[in-house]
Amino acid sequence: MKIVGQAVPHESARGHVTGEALYTDDLLSRFPGLLHAWPVLSPHAHARLLKLDAAPALDEPGVCAILTGADVPGENDSGAARHDEPLFPAEIMYHQQPVAWVLGETLEAARLGAARVVAEYQPLHPVLTIEDAILAGSFHSPPMRIVRGDSQSALASSPHRFEGELAIGGQEHFYLETQSSIAWLDESGGIMVESSTQHPSETQEIVARALGIARHQVTVECLRMGGAFGGKEVQANPYSAIAALGAWKTRRPVRVRLPRFLDMALTGKRHPFLARFSAGFDHDGHILALKLVLYSDAGWSLDLSEPVMARALFHSDNCYFIPALDATGLICLTHKTSQTAFRGFGGPQGMLVIEDVLDRIARTLSLPPEIVRERNFYREGHSTHYGQPVKDAGRIARIWNQLKETSNLVPRRAEIERYNAAHPHRKRGIAITPVKFGISFTATMFNQAGALVLIYKDGSVQVNHGGTEMGQGLHTKIRQIAAESLGVPESAIRIMPPRTDKIPNTSATAASASSDLNGAAVVDACSQLKARLAPVAAGLLGADASEIHFADGNVSAGNKALPFAQVVEAAYRQRIPLFAQGFYRTPEIHYDPQTMQGRPFYYFAYGAAVSEVEIDGFTGEYRVLRTDILHDVGESLSPLVDRGQVEGGFIQGLGWLTLEELVWDSQGRLMTNGASTYKLPAWSELPQEFHVEFLTRAAEPGVVFGSKAVGEPPLMLAISVREALRDAIAAFGSGGVVALDSPATLERVFWAVKRARSRQPVRELSAAGVSNG
C-alpha cells in the first residue's frame, strides 16, 4: 500500500490530545537546581543607558546572579544578518528592550530582583512610524529596486491613470507557546540548549558567538514548537543565548521563558508596510504600467527585513503580467520591535498591493473586478518582472475557471445584487482572488538539506533531518516519505527531534520548503541504504539485485519475499553499513541580488479563493458567509496535513487582514500586548460555509513524490475576504473606488461605508495610537 499520499493524523497527534507531547518548558522538573531568568526592561523606546547598578538585585532573597554585558565572554550580539543586536545594549532601541537579566531560584525571586536593579537613561527622540522614518531618512539599507520596461513613459501614454496609497498593518505571530529555552552544561564542558527554535543551527551559531566558543561545543535541540509561523526563525536566538550565558556563568541549568505580555512586547512581528503607487491602464482594464514604492516598518534591527522586502517586491505582480513595472523597496529603521519572518515573508504585503490596485482599476472602469483580474493573468510564455519564466502559468486560469464554476460565483453575484437591493443597512459582497507564490529561499545557498537515516538490526529506523516541527506536519510527511522509500510501515520509523549534533549547518525551517528539501534528503539516504541492502537480499533470495523490491515491510523479488528486518540482520553480518547520510540541493535556481534578476524560485504554488461577506452598515461589523478554496499542493504528500495548512493559513490570513491590529502609542509602547487587547480569529471568524479542494492532475516534477510546498501560500487566499469587504462596502454607495487600509477592522469598515454612502471623502479617524502598524 502506498504510504505517501495517505491522510494520516499528525505524527504527534496522540501526544497532543493526551498532553504527553513535550515542549521545551515542559521539561523543567528534569533539571534540579534550575534557575529562572527575568529581564530588566527599559522604560523608553529610544535612550542612552547612562548607568546600570544591578547589585541591589542580589539583596532579593533567592536571586543568584545578574547577567550584564560584563558577563559575555564572546561577542555581545545576537544579530543574524548583521551584527546589530546587542544582547546588553548601551543604546536602547525599543520600548522594554532588556538591559540586564536576573537569575533566581524562582521566577518570583528573579522578577522581584529585576525590579530592584537601578538603571538611568537619557531619553532620545524615537522614530515610530514609516512616515517619520521617511522624513528622518531613517533606513536600514539602500533602496532595493526591480525594473521592467519604461514605466514612466508607459504611465504617460496610458488612457487611464491613478495614484494611491495603502497602509498595511503588521501581525503578531501569537504562537501559543512563547519563546522558551533551557541551557545547561553538558558532561564534557560544552553547552546544551533545548530551544523552541525554527533554526537550531543558527541558534547554535549565536550561542557560540556569545560564549566565544567554537560551534562544536554547542548542541541545540528542538523537541517541537507550539507554533512558530516565522516568529522563531531568528527571534529564538537571543533568549537561547541568555539562557546559555546564565548557565555558563552559574554552572546551573537556566530557563528563559517569556510570558505572553513580554513575548508580545519584545519580539518582532510581520512588517507593517506602506505602499505608494501610480498605475496606468487601458479602457478594458489591462494594466499597462505600475510604479510602486514599498516601505516596510522594520523596527530596530535589520533581522530578515531585506529578504522580506525582496519577496514583497517579487510578489507585487501576483498572477498578473505587468508590462512596465518599477518597484522600489525601502526598509525603515524605527524604534520598535525588530520585525521579522512571518508566514508569507513579505509576499502577502506585495500581493495585497496589486490586488488593491486591480480592484481600483475595476471600480474606476465600472467593470467586475474578477473580469479585470482575469484579463491581466500571466499566460504560458510570460516572464516575471525579475526575469523568471512563469512555470505552469496556465494553471492560474485553470484554477480560476474551475473555482468560479464550483463556487457558483456568477449566479451568486446576481443573488447578492437582489439581496442588497432589498436591504439598505446590510450589504453583501463577493470576490475571487488568485495566489501565485514562489517556492525556494531567495538566498540560493539556503536551499540545501541533510538527513541521517539509521537502521537498527531489528529493522527499526531512526530518521534525523534538519527540519523542525512547529505543527505544520513536517515530521508526519517525513515519516511517510521514509516509510514509503524503505518499504516499511510507518510504525517502523521514528522521527528524531532535530539536533545540531546529528545534522550540521541546517537551514531554517522556513520558506514552505522544508518537506521539499528535507524530504528529498531523506529519499536520498533511503535510496543509498536500499542500494546496499538489495544485493544482500538478492543473495538471500537467489535473485538479481535489480529485481529487488522494498514494500510493506518486505524485501521481495518476484513472488519470493523476506521480512525487511531479516535482510537488515543479514546485511549487518556481512558488515554492510546500515546508516546513510542524505543530501539535497535545489537545482536550476540562481539569483543576482544586485540586479534582482534571475530564477529565485524552483516553482510556483497556485491557488484561488472565493469569499462572500455581509456587512452591518450601522456598526461596520461583518461576517464571512462562505469561502471556497481551490489550491494547488501538487500530489499531496499527506492530505490531512495539507488541508490543515490550507484552512489554518487562510484563517491566519483572515486575522491579519481583518481583526488583528497592532497599536503603538506616541511613546512607542505597544498597546496591544496581550490576548485581551490583540484579537486572534476565534470560532466566530470561521466562515459559516467553508469548502476546500485541492487541484487534481497537479504533480510537480522534480519535487519529492510530485508534491508542492503548502505552508505559506494559503495565507494569501484570505485576500479574497478583504476584497469581498470592499465589494460590500461599494454596495452601500453608487460605485467608485473603495479605499480601505488594512486591517479592515469594523471601525475602518464603518468609515468606509460612510464614505461610500456619502460619496464624499470622509477623513479616516484612527485610533489613539500614532501608528496603526
Partner 1 sequence: MSSSRQLRSGQVEFLVNGERVQADLSLHTTLLDFLRSRDLTGAKEGCAEGECGACAVVLVKSNSSASGAADSTFSPINSCLMLLPMAAGQEIYTVEALAGSKDLAAVQQAMVDHGGSQCGYCTPGFVMSLFAEYYRPGRTGACDPHAMAGNLCRCTGYRPIRDAALSLAAAPEDSFCERLSRPAPAIDSVELESRGSIFQRPGTLAKCLALLSADPQARLVAGATDLVVESNLRGRRFSHLISVEALPELRAFREDEREVELGAALALSEIPVLWKDAPQVLRDWMELFASPLIRNRATLGGNLATASPIGDSAPLLLALDAQVRLAGTEGERIIPLASFFTGYRQTALGPGELIVSILIPKPLPQNVRFFKVAKRKMDDISTVAAAFAINLDSNGRVARARLAYGGVAPVPLRVLQAEEALLGGSWDESVIQRAQKVLERTLKPISDHRGSAAYRLAMAGSLLEKFWWEQHEEAVA
> How buried is 29 (Cβ within 10 angstroms: 0-12 exposed, 13-18 middle, 19+ buried)?
exposed
User: Nearest approach, Cβ of 135 to partner 1 (angstroms)?
Assistant: 24
Nearer to partner 1, 570 or 686 (CB): 686
Nearer to partner 1, 27 or 58 (CB): 27
Nearer to partner 1, 569 or 616 (CB): 616
> 729: which DSSP letter?
H
Nearer to partner 1, 129 or 745 (CB): 745
Instruction: Kindly report the number of other CB atoms within 10 A of residue 315's CB atom.
Output: 26
Q: Residue 104 belongs to what H/E stretch? A: strand 98-104
Question: Would you give the distance in Å from CA 140 to the centre of its chain?
Answer: 22
Question: Would you give the distance in Å from CA 194 to the centre of its chain?
Answer: 22
Instruction: Kindly report the number of other CB atoms within 10 A of residue 46's CB atom.
Output: 24
Closest CA to 302 of 264, 262, 338: 338
User: Nearest approach, Cβ of 449 to partner 1 (angstroms)?
Assistant: 22
Nearer to partner 1, 424 or 577 (CB): 424
The CA distances from residue 325 to 182, 434, 726, in Å, are 49, 20, 25
User: Nearest approach, Cβ of 692 to partner 1 (angstroms)?
Assistant: 8
- Judge whether 516 and 703 are in contact, CB under 8 Å: yes
Long-range CB pairs of 380-387 (<8 Å, 24+ gap) are 382/321, 384/314, 384/317, 385/146, 385/147, 385/148, 385/316, 385/317, 385/322, 385/325, 385/327, 386/146, 386/313, 386/314, 386/591, 386/596, 386/597, 386/598, 386/600, 387/597, 387/598, 387/599
- Active-site position among 635, 700, 712, 723: 712
User: Nearest approach, Cβ of 672 to partner 1 (angstroms)?
Assistant: 5
- Judge whether 297 and 662 are in contact, CB under 8 Å: no
Could you tell me the maximum CA-CA distance found in the chain, to the nearest angstrom?
87
Instruction: Kindly report the number of other CB atoms within 10 A of residue 267's CB atom.
Output: 23
| Sign of the alpha-carbon dihedral angle for 564, 565, 569, 570 | negative
User: Nearest approach, Cβ of 126 to partner 1 (angstroms)?
Assistant: 19
- Judge whether 634 and 703 are in contact, CB under 8 Å: yes
User: Nearest approach, Cβ of 664 to partner 1 (angstroms)?
Assistant: 9
Closest CA to 183 of 152, 161, 145, 213: 213
**134 phi, psi to nearest 5 deg:** -65, -45
Nearer to partner 1, 41 or 309 (CB): 41
List the alpha helices (DSSP H) in 639-769: 639-658, 719-731, 746-758
User: Angle of helix 639-658 relative to helix 719-731, nearest 10 degrees?
Assistant: 40
Nearer to partner 1, 551 or 680 (CB): 680
Q: How far apart are CA 309 and CA 542, in angstroms?
A: 60
Nearer to partner 1, 26 or 75 (CB): 26
> 742: which DSSP letter?
B
Q: How far apart are CA 688 and CA 215, in angstroms?
A: 51
* CA angle, 146 then 149 then 155, to 5°: 105
- Judge whether 31 and 182 are in contact, CB under 8 Å: yes
- Judge whether 93 and 300 are in contact, CB under 8 Å: yes
Q: How far apart are CA 448 and CA 504, in angstroms?
A: 12
| Sign of the alpha-carbon dihedral angle for 261, 266, 269, 274 | positive
Nearer to partner 1, 284 or 621 (CB): 621
User: Nearest approach, Cβ of 469 to partner 1 (angstroms)?
Assistant: 8
- Judge whether 668 and 336 are in contact, CB under 8 Å: yes
Nearer to partner 1, 429 or 471 (CB): 471
User: Nearest approach, Cβ of 174 to partner 1 (angstroms)?
Assistant: 6
User: Nearest approach, Cβ of 50 to partner 1 (angstroms)?
Assistant: 25
Nearer to partner 1, 425 or 590 (CB): 425
User: Nearest approach, Cβ of 190 to partner 1 (angstroms)?
Assistant: 27
Determine whether 712 is an active site residue.
yes
List the alpha helices (DSSP H) in 19-65: none
User: Nearest approach, Cβ of 546 to partner 1 (angstroms)?
Assistant: 40
Q: Hey, which residues are catalytic here?
A: 712
